[in-house]
């Protein structure tokens, strides 16, 4: 799973910002490893997900938390 997410990041991450399309691609990579999540493809973009982008020194560059909110996804930098 880590390698799949690493491949997504190498292809779609600009190094500065976590975007909704990037979170969706990470979600797809995660779903490939969990049959229960995989069958829920109609809910793409609604899986609770937290991604923290850190630089080489360990500093937080960007942080996104998306939670299920009863029908739509909310993307924010705070929980």
The neighbouring-strand residues paired with 51 are: 64
Region for residue 5 given its phi and psi (left: phi exceeds 0; alpha: psi -120 to 50; beta: otherwise): alpha
| 19-65 pLDDT, tens digit each | 888 888 988 888 888 766 556 555 555 667 888 898 999 999 988 88
Q: What is the pLDDT of residue 35?
A: 65
Whether 4 shows a pLDDT value over 90: the answer reads yes
Task: Judge whether 44 and 21 are in contact, CB under 8 Å.
Answer: no
The per-residue pLDDT for 59 is: 92
User: What CA–CA distance (Å, rounded) separates 4 from 73?
Assistant: 23
């Amino acid at each position: 799973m880590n390698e799949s997410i690493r491949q997504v990041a190498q292809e779609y991450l600009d190094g500065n910002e976590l975007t909704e399309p990037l979170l969706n691609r990470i979600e797809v990579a995660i779903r490939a490893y969990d049959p229960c999540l995989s069958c829920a493809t109609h809910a793409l973009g609604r899986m609770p997900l937290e991604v923290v982008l850190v630089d080489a020194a360990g500093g937080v560059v960007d942080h996104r938390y998306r939670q299920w909110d009863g029908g739509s996804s909310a993307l924010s930098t705070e929980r």
